[in-house]
Amino acid sequence: MAINVIIAGPRGRMGTEAVEMVTNEPNLQLVACIDRKNDKEKMREYPTLSRLKIPVFEDPEECFHTVQADVFIDLTVPEACFDHATIAIQRHIRTVIGTSGLTNSQIEELSAISKENQTGCIIAPNFAIGAVLMMQFSKMAARYFPDVEIIEKHHDQKLDAPSGTAVKTVDLIKQTRLPKTQGHPNEEEIIPGARGAVDDGIRVHSVRLPGLVAHQEVIFGGSGQTLSIKHDSIDRKSFMSGVKFAVENVIDLNELVYGLENILDK
Ligand SMILES: NC(=O)C1=CN([C@@H]2O[C@H](COP(=O)(O)OP(=O)(O)OC[C@H]3O[C@@H](n4cnc5c(N)ncnc54)[C@H](OP(=O)(O)O)[C@@H]3O)[C@@H](O)[C@H]2O)C=CC1
Ligand SMILES: O=C(O)C1=N[C@H](C(=O)O)C[C@H](O)C1
């Protein structure tokens, strides 16, 4: 039996890839999309979507009410994603969130809704296996190297900074790193922001440039040595095996999981 999937954000950079991936996977079936502009002219620019002849809804309530689905994938923006996911989970449709920029309180709220409705949800800050490993390796290294800075680099159309991957990396590093104030105690920013954003003493630098896709380097410093852990997504296809993995695994979950690392070896 195929897993029936709804995708929100099908015209987007990730959505386009996800539509392609789901339609090419024999065990997945795309049954509908949610798009804030259900515009026939625009759809013509997206050949896979217009060829499929699946229903496209502007109203998520109407979509989840009308279409029978097993899994909902959100690849939009945080405000819309939170609303979509809330409605989907309340309707017992298991949910995979790729959208970054949800706040901690939104994640906690979705976790509570998921538990209350016994309906699984996966929030994946990064679907690329290499990025998941980069985050895990960084967590391991932070135990031995409390001095660490993160440089994340993305295309210049990205809305949120720092990236969801960087936020998750900081979370994971905090789990093993001994608290430390890094750098010189008297350091001064001549240009405000020069030392990047800071969370619990960990510096995060966000670069946005055309030509980039999604890249992150975590640099640890110790006496006489540095350790760099680096991941590059040079094509959005790098995310698709993780999307598939999440769709196939969320089916067996009854609560929210934040990060693919939590289910990789299950
Ligand atoms: N977890 C992961 O591995 C990855 C996550 N991402 C995340 O996925 C998200 C999407 O990224 P990307 O595809 O590059 O972004 P895009 O801007 O290319 O796509 C977003 C899509 O969402 C649509 N959208 C915007 N607002 C709404 C709304 N209110 N309701 C419904 N649809 C809406 C946009 O429509 P319109 O064109 O009309 O604005 C657009 O089609 C981002 O949060 C990004 O960080 C990206 C890559 C990997
Ligand atoms: O917007 C993107 O492109 C990406 N977003 C995710 C993030 O915020 O970490 C994942 C990946 O880095 C690509």
pLDDT digits (tens, 9 = 90+) for 149-159: 999 999 999 99
d(CA 201, CA 224): 21
| Ligand 2: nearest atom to the Cα of 163 | 8
Query: Which tens digit of pLDDT belongs to each residue from 239-259?
Result: 999 999 999 999 999 999 999
What CATH class is the domain 129-233? alpha beta
CATH of domain 3-123+237-262: 3.40.50.720
* Dist. CA 78–CA 161, nearest whole Å: 13
Residue owning the nearest CA to atom 10 of ligand 2: 126
The pLDDT value given to residue 247: 98
Residues 64-93: tens digit of each pLDDT: 999 999 999 999 999 999 999 999 999 999
Q: Going by DSSP bridges, is the β-strand pair 71-74/3-8 parallel, antiparallel, or unpaired?
A: parallel
Measured in Å, residue 113 CA sits from the centre of ligand 1 at 23
> How high is the pLDDT of residue 214?
98
Digit-coded pLDDT (tens) for 195-208: 999 999 999 999 99
Q: What is the per-residue pLDDT for 45?
A: 67
Q: Which residues of 44-72 are buried (b: 16+ CB within 10 A; e: fewer)?
A: eebeebeebebebbeebeebbeebebbbb
Ligand 1 and 162: CB distance under 6 A: no
CB of 98 closer than 6 A to ligand 1?
Answer: yes
C-alpha 192 – ligand 1 centre gap (Å) = 30
Q: What is the mean pLDDT of residues 85-110?
A: 98
Q: Residue ranges of the domains in the chain?
A: 3-123+237-262, 129-233
Contacts of 49 (CB under 8 A, 6+ apart): 10, 11, 16, 19, 33, 43, 56
The answer to ipTM > 0.90 is: yes
**Ligand 2 contacts CB of residue 99 (under 6 A):** no
Domains 3-123+237-262 and 129-233 share a fold: no
Is 0.90 surpassed by the pTM of this model?
yes
Give the relative orientation of helices 164-174 and 129-142 as an angle to the nearest 10 degrees: 30
Radius of gyration of the chain (CA): 20
CA of 135 to the centre of ligand 1 (A): 23
Q: pLDDT, tens digit, for every residue of 17-69? A: 999 999 999 999 999 999 987 666 666 667 677 788 899 999 999 999 999 99
Write down the pLDDT at residue 43. 66
161-179 pLDDT, tens digit per residue, is 999 999 999 999 999 999 9
The residue annotated as part of the active site, out of 154, 168, 231, 244, is 154
pLDDT for res 44: 64
- 184: tokens are 């010189």
Residues 220 and 147: beta-carbon distance below 8 Å: yes
pLDDT at residue 265 is higher than 90 = no
Q: Is 154 a catalytic residue?
A: yes
Full DSSP string of the chain: -PEEEEEE-TTSHHHHHHHHHHHH-TTEEEEEEE-S---HHHHHTSHHHHHHT--EES-HHHHHHHS--SEEEE-S-HHHHHHHHHHHHHTT-EEEE------HHHHHHHHHHHHHTT--EEE-S---HHHHHHHHHHHHHHTT--EEEEEEEE-TT---SS-HHHHHHHHHHHTTPPP---S-TT---SSTTTT-EEETTEEEEEEE-TT--EEEEEEEEETTEEEEEEEEE-SGGGGHHHHHHHHHHHTT-SSEEESGGGTTT-
Query: Does the pLDDT at position 102 exceed 70?
Result: yes
Mean pLDDT of 132-141: 98
